Structure 1
Amino acid sequence: MVFHPDRRRTEDASGQPAHLRRVPAGGHRRLSRAVEVQEAVKGLILQRGLTTGDPLPTESELMEELGIGRNSVREALKVLQAVGIVDIRHGFGMFVGRMSLNGLVDELTFHSRMTLQEERNHLGHLIEIREILESGLVQRLIDGHVDHDLTPHLPAAREVIEQMEAEALVGPVSPETDRLFHDVLYRPLGNPLVGRLLGAFWEVYHQLGDDLGPPDETPADVARKHRHIYTAVITRDRPSAATAVRVHFDGVRARLARLGQP
């Protein structure tokens, strides 16, 4: 299918496509050509009301519609693919991509590794942000179900806790099980960005696991701390929930503090 923009809606008075419109003199600094092309593709997606998984025009169609060369189109698509806006499936075509935080994870991991020996390193700041976020999330869970038993809303969290405790009896709790607990615990909030953000924080932390050295906590400690969070939530005990989240991150803080010791 060939995609042709609606010229009546996308051209300005000069006949130029709106998504490639120049910034007037005296306004903001003119965008570079590479950024202009990226913005043009994003503008096309928005103008047509496309959503995740919808097909995009081919390279040739984009060249014709935007009036730009193949190299410019390809460079723009590479950038948009890296940030998850475009999904290129070789042999199938191009589609609107899913939101991805992979670029953020890579950048945070790299800069955190650079500053691990500093007193207030990037990873320490990231852990602080995640703790603040989770402290608020558990309170939101409790407040959102004041008149109801939360247990039926969190069957997956209970199952993951039981899996943690089973793993702790024979060895370490797997990182995947740990991550899954935080994912399923907040699902009743109905906010899909929560899992993505927590997953990004988790990925940075675990990519730096070897740099931090072995944990001080036993597998039983890990399972117990997660059990305390779960219990505080289902019993709607706000003070205990706040304490449980804080204690959960004590082990991470201890590993970071140990890096600064001679």
Structure 2
Amino acid sequence: MAVTDEAIEKIKAMIVGGELGPGDRLPPEKELSERLGLSRNSMREAVKALEVIRVLDVRRGDGTYVTSLEPHLLLEAISFVVDLHDDDSLLELFAVRRMLESQATGLAASNASAQEAESLLAEVASVDPDVVTIDDLVAHDIRFHGEIVRLTGNGYLASLVDGLSSQTVRARVWRGVTEQGAVERTLSEHRGIAEAIAQRDSALASSLATAHIAGVERWLRQAATA
């Protein structure tokens, strides 16, 4: 194991073991490197790496702290990685999203209150297909699917799904969708999903979400081979 990797593992062990918790300040670099039996250079590189993935927060002139370790922070890098991939790779990512989001939508149907379901329906109704722009559609798509995964009550699931379909990916998809009726069809599918959630029909909601995302996959596949 590389020395920097060893340092990362030892800091992780301190967090997993409860010696350090969210918001805690790490001991000074010299003290920590001596305690763990590692050089200050390897310790410094480990801290940099853990800062990049949002496990640690280096505050200049103050010290290094463990972050809140909230799911949205720890899984933030997924969106960055997803944005770098081409359409062929996006097909694989959408397949993963389809599996996760279909289950998330079914769970949302079980959890949603009448008021939350009504809010989801209102979100769909707020979009006018005759005047909506690409940016408007991207914003709506983020709000709609984000609210659904939030209703699962599972922060890690919500962050994973959100990361697999970032704003950049959504914009790429919408700018490429040129077939007639795509906007109306998408809003109709969103409405169907929202109505299934309002009816607390988990099986229907899950099936509709699967079909909805599969439709985007199908378009991406066609675009990639065109």
TM-score relative to the length of structure 2:
0.80
What amino acid is aligned across from residue 77 of structure 2 in structure 1? G
Aligned twin of 2:35: 65
Q: State which of 130, 133, 136 in structure 1 corresponds to 2:100.
A: 133
Q: Aligned pair 1:101/2:75, yes or no? A: yes
Alpha-carbon distance in structure 2 between the residues aligned to 1:207 and 1:246: 17
Q: Aligned pair 1:157/2:124, yes or no? A: no
Aligned twin of 2:153: 190
Shift of 1:211: 11
Aligned twin of 1:41: 11
8 Å Cα contact 2:30/2:40 also seen in 1: yes
Give the number of aligned pairs: 219
Shift of 1:155: 4.9
Shift of 1:81: 1.4
8 Å Cα contact 1:212/1:259 also seen in 2: no
Aligned pairs for 1:1-262 (under 5 A) are 31-97=1-67, 98=69, 99-110=73-84, 112-113=85-86, 116=87, 121-142=88-109, 144=110, 150-163=113-126, 165-166=127-128, 168-172=129-133, 173-203=136-166, 206=169, 209=172, 213-216=176-179, 218-238=182-202, 240-262=204-226
1:8-39 per-position Cα deviation (integer Å, ceiling 9, x unaligned): xxxxxxxxxxxxxxxxxxxxxxx221111111
Greater shift after overlay, 60-69 or 223-232? 60-69
Q: 1:125 to 1:37 in 2, by over 3 A?
A: same
Query: Could you say which structure has the greater relative contact order, defined with CA pairs below 8 angstroms and 6 or more residues apart?
Result: 2
What amino acid is aligned across from residue 75 of structure 1 in structure 2? E
Q: 1:152 to 1:93 in 2, by over 3 A?
A: same
Higher helix share: 2
Aligned twin of 1:25: none
Structure 1 unpaired stretches of 5+: 1-30
8 Å Cα contact 1:215/1:251 also seen in 2: no
Alpha-carbon distance in structure 2 between the residues aligned to 1:191 and 1:222: 26
Alpha-carbon distance in structure 2 between the residues aligned to 1:244 and 1:207: 19
Aligned twin of 1:23: none
TM-score relative to the length of structure 1:
0.70
Specify the SS of the correspondent of 1:248.
helix
1:154-187 per-position Cα deviation (integer Å, ceiling 9, x unaligned): 3543443343x24x34223332331121222233
Specify the SS of the correspondent of 2:27.
coil
Shift of 1:132: 1.7
8 Å Cα contact 1:83/1:103 also seen in 2: yes
% identical equivalent positions: 25
